[in-house]
């Protein structure tokens, strides 16, 4: 048995008395600085995007939909303006991180009451208590219908506008098809039509870019996963490389800056640090539940061949996430008795609302709101 001299034991004890408090102080200073930086970034965004109009609205609210508490951010200069419900992509892509950018940069909040909703399992609406079996396309359609009814009753309007981007465009178009009496018009951004064909074209585009750039690591990963259908792990690999190539391409073509997603999360006024930590614990929850065999069976060519409200498709020329050639083909075949419109964004990819905000504003305010609410009386 090893025996320590009393002097050595006293020295170890003295070191412990200093080390533990020093470590505690270090972490306190670290977290205090992190919290202060978080608040600073949030305040900068608030100053830049505050709504101070006397009849305006800027409200973060928790609403129970389908038995699950979910969050909406409602913003607009005038509460009597038409209501627009925005359905985010993903599945599971937090919307509040760029909601204010949509409303302020594209100046939509001057003309609409913008309702940004984070669907169950996403962003602030994420919780470990959400049953995985409730994470289905049908449930999200039901949640969308329920929220739409709540908004109609609350703002005392006969109908609302509904925008679906990417993943949200499936939910949005299905809801609009089934309950046309709730909506003035449907607007699809990066419309999903046939996920299996979508991912096949997206994969081939990513593979070609990797070959042209000589990126051996990307080629190895992409050839390993092959063509869809994908598990969510395989999808993440394909999207990781596509996102990287996409950001470089858009920067070179149109001087688009890369997005710092971590800073976006920290600067979002609607997120507490607890919200951010919760999201980080299971960031792929929604996509794990929803990107499955049932999802790959969806085919709007067969399931939504016609619709009874005006439909607008907004397509980025360089969209390789939801390739616009499929959307254009679907548009040509869709029977829309109240009118259908296909609008190209020549300097955009998957995010025309952020990449061409002036044109996006013109389309939303002049071509859509102007046509339906002001210039034309459409008989529903």
Six-digit token string for 215: 């990126």
Q: How far does the chain reach from its first CA to its final CA, in angstroms? A: 91
Which of these is catalytic: 125, 267, 319, 324? 319
User: Does 166 qualify as catalytic in the annotation?
Assistant: yes
Nearest to 195 by CA among 95, 294, 304, 312: 294
User: Which candidate in 125, 148, 166, 348 is catalytic?
Assistant: 166
Q: How far is CA 21 from the centre of its chain?
A: 43
CA separation for the pair 161, 187 (Å, rounded): 8
Q: What tokens does 231 get?
A: 């598990």
Q: What is the DSSP letter of 257?
A: P
Say if residue 329 is exposed, middle or buried (CB neighbours under 10 Å; 0-12, 13-18, 19+). Answer: middle
What does the block give as tokens for 316?
Answer: 């980025």
Angle of helix 96-105 relative to helix 6-49, nearest 10 degrees, comes to 30
Contacts of 294 (CB under 8 A, 6+ apart): 136, 137
Look up residue 373 and give its DSSP letter: I
Q: Is the dihedral of CA 287, 240, 104, 358 positive or negative?
A: negative
CA distance 272 to 162: 28
- What residues does 165 pair with on adjacent strands? 189
Residue 254 near residue 346 (C-beta atoms within 8 A): no
Residue 255 annotated in active site: no
Whether 221 sits among the annotated catalytic residues: the reply is: no
272 by DSSP, 3-state: which?
A: coil
Q: Report the alpha-carbon distance of residue 342 to residue 163 in Å, rounded.
A: 14
Q: Which residues are catalytic?
A: 166, 319, 350
């Amino acid at each position: 048995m090893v025996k320590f001299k009393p002097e050595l034991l006293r020295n170890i004890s003295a070191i412990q008395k200093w080390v533990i408090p020093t470590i505690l102080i270090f972490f306190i200073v670290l977290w205090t600085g992190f919290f202060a930086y978080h608040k600073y970034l949030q305040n900068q965004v608030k100053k830049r995007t505050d709504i101070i109009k006397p009849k305006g609205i800027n409200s973060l609210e928790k609403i129970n939909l389908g038995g699950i508490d979910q969050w909406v951010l409602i913003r607009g200069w005038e509460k009597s303006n038409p209501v627009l419900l925005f359905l985010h992509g993903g599945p599971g892509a937090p919307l509040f991180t760029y909601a204010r950018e949509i409303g302020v940069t594209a100046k939509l909040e001057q003309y609409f009451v913008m309702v940004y909703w984070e669907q169950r399992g996403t962003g602030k609406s994420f919780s470990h208590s959400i049953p995985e079996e409730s994470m289905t396309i049908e449930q999200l359609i039901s949640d969308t219908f329920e929220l739409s009814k709540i908004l109609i009753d609350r703002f005392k309007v006969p109908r609302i506008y509904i925008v679906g981007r990417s993943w949200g465009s499936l939910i949005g178009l299905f809801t609009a098809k089934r309950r046309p009496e709730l909506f003035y018009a449907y607007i699809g951004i990066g419309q999903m039509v046939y996920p299996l064909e979508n991912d096949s074209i997206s994969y081939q585009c990513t593979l070609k870019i990797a070959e042209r750039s000589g990126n051996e690591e990307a080629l190895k990963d992409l050839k390993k996963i092959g063509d869809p259908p994908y598990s969510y792990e395989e999808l993440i690999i394909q999207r990781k490389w596509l996102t990287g190539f996409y950001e470089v391409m858009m920067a070179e073509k149109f001087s688009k800056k890369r997005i710092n997603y971590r800073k976006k999360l920290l600067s979002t006024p609607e997120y507490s640090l607890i919200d951010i930590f919760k999201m980080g614990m299971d960031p792929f929850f929604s996509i794990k539940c929803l990107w499955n065999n049932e999802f790959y069976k969806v085919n709007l060519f067969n399931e939504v061949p016609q619709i009874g409200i005006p439909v607008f498709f907004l397509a980025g020329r360089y969209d390789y996430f939801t390739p616009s050639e499929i959307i254009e083909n679907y548009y040509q075949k869709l029977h829309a008795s109240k009118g259908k419109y296909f609008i190209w964004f020549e300097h955009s990819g998957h995010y025309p609302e952020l990449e061409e905000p002036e044109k996006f504003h013109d389309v939303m305010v002049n071509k859509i709101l102007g046509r339906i609410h002001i210039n034309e009386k459409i008989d529903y």
